[in-house]
Every structure is written in C-alpha cells, then in structure tokens.
C-alpha cells in the first residue's frame, strides 16, 4: 500500500497532462482532492455498516468500529475541504463562495458528522450512547449522497458534475484517469489502514477503561 | 424632468477612499505571485502539503493517546 501510494503521488506530479486553461498545472490536484472525498465516502459507508450491525447485535466492538471509521472519515473530509479551498483560491479567485453548492453542502455534511460526535459525548451510559449514536449515524449517512451527488447536480456550479453533468465524463481527460483511479484506490487503502489503527486503539482502551468515551 | 445624478457610490464617500481589503491584498502579493508562478504548480504542492500535515497531525495525536494508555498500564501493574 505504501509503495503504491508513493508511486501514485510521484506519478501525479510527473506524468504529462493536457493543458487546460485556468486550471493549468492545478489539474493535478484532481489526484489528491477527489480521492479525499472517495476515502471519506468509504469510511462513512464502513461506519454505517457497523452501526447497522450494532443494532442487529449489540456488540460493543461494532460501536467502536463505527465510531473509529466516522472519525477517520472526518479527517479525510477535512482534508478535502481544505484542499478544495486552496484550489478555489487560485482558480476561482476566492477561498470560499456561497455561490458554490457542492462546497457548502460538503461543509454541511461535515457538520452533520460533528453532531454525531457531540451526540456521543452527551451520554454517560454506554449502551444508550452506542444505540442512539448508531441510529443517528444511519440517518447521517443517508444525507451524504443527497448532499454531495443529487442536489449539486440540480444547481449551477463551478464544480464539475453540476448542472446535470456527471463529474466523470468525456470532460475528464483520459490521461488523468491513469493516475486518478490508482490514487482513489491508494487513498482509500490509506484510510482503511488509519481506521484499523484507530479501532484497535479504541478496543484496547475499552478493555482497560470501559466507562470512558473518547 | 429631474435626473438624480448624485446618488452614486455613497459607500466610498461615507467611509474612506481606501477599501478595507486593499491593504492585505498588497501584503499578500508576494505569496500570491509565487503561487501563480510556473503554471500554478505550487498550488498542487500546497494541496499535498495540506493533506500531509492533517494526516501527520492526526497520527501524532493517536500516538500520544497510545502513549498515555501505556503509561496508565505501567502504573497499574508495578
């Protein structure tokens, strides 16, 4: 995984890319900005899966896994927002714009997940916390496709993928895909590795001190 | 017929000749010009550095949490 991602990052800088006005070299950002969101989706999907499994059979291990995955997803979402903001500054001319639905809805999605952690911290009782957090998490994950796929596509936007266009269509140059798809794979793998470390840590801590939530 | 030609841009007059944002734009110029140089390649560098620093920050935090856990374990078992 590490070698793969190293090659991807190197390749992302080195390969020849077609010239696109305004974007110029920042077209390479697609190799880093877009996989952040893909990694976030993968983490939130994992988190949701474990929340459903928790409701099926209330095993604290599932709750720990759901929480860890949501946490790692947040980190990648934060990376996505920050990189998007920097990219916007030099191509759209502003750090943040409220005329851009995808940007604002992505921030809203982050807020929904912030609420997940706030909700967790509001309970002292472990079973209650796990159960309510699981229910909320399933609600939170259902908003993600609407906030980041369905609604932005109905509105005009500076982002690719708006105004009824799919984001990855003939407008994405073929050369970019050679790195983009491996980059998505690499960063999703990185996210799973961080998640693995995270939930193992949480599990160990749970066995030492079950009362405390992070 | 009377044409009201005076009601233009009262805001600048009311406050000052200089817009508030102007000064910081001048200050930022060197950094911004650097970012725009070489077909914006430094923006890509910035993006990779953001990802690197956020992930690094996160991993350092996890490292510290694990360390405090170890400390707790060691202090419990003499």
Condensed to tens digits (0 to 9), the pLDDT of residues A72-125 reads 999 999 999 999 888 888 777 778 877 778 888 889 999 999 999 999 988 888
Range of the domain at A155: 2-12+35-208
- Mean pLDDT comparison of A14-23, A94-103, A106-115, B5-14, highest-scoring range: A106-115
Q: Does A29 touch chain B (CB under 8 A)?
A: yes
Q: Do B54 and A90 touch (CB under 8 A)?
A: no
Report the residue of chain A nearest B67, measured CA to CA: A201
Residues whose CB falls within 8 Å of the CB of residue A59, separated by 6 or more in sequence, listed in order: A53
If one compares A13 and A116, the residue with the highest pLDDT of the two is: A116
Q: Nearest-CA neighbor of A51 among A130, A162, A105, A114?
A: A130
Q: Is A129 among the domain residues?
A: yes
- The three-state DSSP-derived secondary structure of chain B is CCCCCCCCCHHHHHCCCCCCCHHHHHHHHHHHHHHHHHHHHHHHHHHHHHHHHHHHHHHHHHHHHHHHHHHHHHHHCC
Share above pLDDT 70 across residues of chain A, in percent, rounded to a whole number: 80
Instruction: Give the nearest partner residue to B44 out of A25, A78, A194, using CB atoms.
Output: A25
Instruction: Give the nearest partner residue to B50 out of A25, A79, A205, using CB atoms.
Output: A79
- Tell me the shortest Cα–Cα distance from B41 to chain A, in angstroms: 5
- Structure tokens given for A209: 């001190």
Q: Does A176 touch chain B (CB under 8 A)?
A: no
Look at residue B4 in the predicted model and tell me its pLDDT. 53
Mean pLDDT of A125-148: 90
DSSP code, position A168: S
Mutate to test the interface with A, among B31, B51, B74 (most CBs of A within 10 A): B51
Instruction: Give the nearest partner residue to B44 out of A28, A194, A204, using CB atoms.
Output: A28
- Tell me the shortest Cα–Cα distance from A196 to chain B, in angstroms: 12
Q: ipTM of this model?
A: 0.77
pLDDT at A191 over 60: yes
The structural domain count of chain A equals 1
- Structure tokens given for A74: 């947040």
Q: Does A194 touch chain B (CB under 8 A)?
A: yes
pLDDT at B14 over 70: no
Q: Is A65 among the domain residues?
A: yes
pLDDT at A50 over 70: yes
Local confidence band at A32 (pLDDT 50, 70, 90 cut-offs): confident
pTM beyond 0.95, yes or no = no
Look at residue A176 in the predicted model and tell me its pLDDT. 73
Residue in the structure block whose two tokens are 């929480």: A67
Average pLDDT, rounded, for chain A: 82
Q: Nearest-CA neighbor of B44 among A158, A37, A23?
A: A23
Residue A24 CA to residue A19 CA, distance in Å, equals 6
Look at residue A49 in the predicted model and tell me its pLDDT. 94
Look at residue B43 in the predicted model and tell me its pLDDT. 82
Q: Is A18 among the domain residues?
A: no
Q: Is A137 among the domain residues?
A: yes
Q: Residue B28, Cα to own-chain centre: how many angstroms?
A: 12
């Amino acid at each position: 995984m590490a070698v793969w991602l190293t090659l991807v990052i190197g390749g992302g800088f080195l390969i020849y890319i077609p010239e696109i006005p305004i974007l110029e070299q920042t077209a390479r950002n697609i190799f880093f900005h877009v996989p952040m969101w893909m990694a976030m989706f993968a983490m939130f999907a994992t988190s949701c899966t474990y929340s459903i499994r928790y409701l099926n059979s209330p095993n604290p291990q599932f709750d720990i896994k759901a929480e860890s995955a949501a946490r790692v997803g947040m980190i990648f979402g934060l990376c996505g927002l920050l990189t998007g903001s920097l990219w916007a500054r030099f191509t759209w001319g502003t750090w943040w714009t409220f005329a851009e639905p995808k940007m604002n809805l992505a921030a809203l999605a982050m807020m929904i997940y912030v609420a997940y952690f706030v909700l967790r911290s509001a309970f002292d009782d472990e079973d209650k916390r796990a159960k309510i957090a699981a229910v909320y998490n399933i609600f939170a994950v259902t908003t993600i496709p609407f906030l980041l796929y369905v609604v932005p596509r109905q509105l005009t936007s500076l982002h690719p993928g708006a105004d009824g266009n799919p984001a990855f269509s003939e407008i994405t140059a073929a050369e970019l895909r050679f790195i983009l798809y491996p980059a998505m794979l690499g960063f999703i793998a990185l996210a799973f590795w961080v998640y693995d470390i995270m939930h193992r840590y949480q599990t160990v801590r749970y066995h030492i001190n079950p009362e405390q939530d992070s | 017929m009377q044409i009201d030609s005076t009601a233009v841009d009262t805001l600048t007059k009311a406050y000052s000749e200089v817009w508030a944002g102007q000064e910081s734009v001048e200050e930022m110029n060197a950094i911004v010009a650097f970012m725009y140089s070489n077909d914006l390649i430094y923006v890509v560098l910035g993006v990779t550095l953001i990802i690197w620093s956020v992930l690094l920050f996160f991993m350092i935090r996890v490292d510290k949490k694990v360390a405090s856990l170890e400390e707790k374990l060691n202090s419990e078992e003499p």
